[in-house]
Amino acid sequence: MLDSFWQDLRFGARILVKHPRFTMTVLVILALGIGANTAIFSVVNSVLLRPLPYHDSDRLVEISETAGVTETTPVFLPDFLDWRQNSQVFEQMAAYRWQAFSISGESEPEMLHGWYVTASFFPTFGVQPIKGRFFSPGEDSDGAAREVVISYPLWQRRFGGDAGIVGQTVSLNNTQYVVVAIAPAQFRFEDKMDVTKNPQHSRHQ
Cβ atoms of 61 and 125 within 8 Å: the answer is: no
pLDDT at residue number 201: 41
pTM score, two decimals? 0.69
Spell out the domain ranges in the chain: 2-49, 63-197
Bridge partner list, 104: 171
pLDDT in tens, 125-155: 888 999 999 998 888 777 778 999 999 999 9
pLDDT in tens, 2-14: 777 787 778 777 8
How many Å apart are CA 178 and CA 67, to the nearest integer?
Answer: 38
Cα separation values, 40 from 29, 43, 46, 178, 186, Å: 16, 5, 10, 44, 26
The residue with greater pLDDT, 173 or 42, is: 173
Cβ neighbours for 185, distance < 8 A, ≥ 6 positions apart: 130, 152, 153
Say how many C-beta atoms besides its own lie within 10 A of residue 183's C-beta.
Answer: 27
| 197 phi/psi in degrees, rounded to 5 | -125, 155
Mapping DSSP to helix (H, G, I), strand (E, B) and coil, where does residue 88 land? coil
- Mean model confidence pLDDT for the chain: 83
Cβ atoms of 135 and 147 within 8 Å: the answer is: yes
How many Å apart are CA 114 and CA 178, to the nearest integer?
Answer: 15
Mapping DSSP to helix (H, G, I), strand (E, B) and coil, where does residue 167 land? coil
pLDDT at residue number 134: 93
Closest to 137 in 3D by CA, of 81, 97, 183, 175: 81
Cβ atoms of 177 and 167 within 8 Å: the answer is: no
How many Å apart are CA 72 and CA 89, to the nearest integer?
Answer: 22
How many Å apart are CA 147 and CA 150, to the nearest integer?
Answer: 10
Angle among Cα 131, 132, 136 to the nearest 5 degrees reads 140
